[in-house]
Amino acid sequence: MQTYIGVKIVSAKPMTRGDYNTYRGWTIPRDENPLDDGYLVEYIGE
């Protein structure tokens, strides 16, 4: 199998793990840090 590099255009905004869980309507598990930094990423495929 060969290796390839792929590229996508995405929309993203910074969001903590806690904010993401709130956005999804989820309760944050006790073993996860709600202050972990991350991104909300949206990709709309063709």
Q: Which domain holds residue 4?
A: 1-46
Q: The whole model's pTM is what?
A: 0.72
**Three-state secondary structure readout of the chain:** CCCCCCCCCCEEEEEEHHHHHHHHCCCCCCCCCCCCEEEEEECCCC
Mean pLDDT of 11-32: 96
| In the predicted structure, residue 46 carries a pLDDT above the cut 90 | no
Say how many domains are in the chain.
Answer: 1
Average pLDDT over the chain, rounded to an integer: 95
Q: Which pLDDT score, from 0 to 100, does residue 45 have?
A: 79
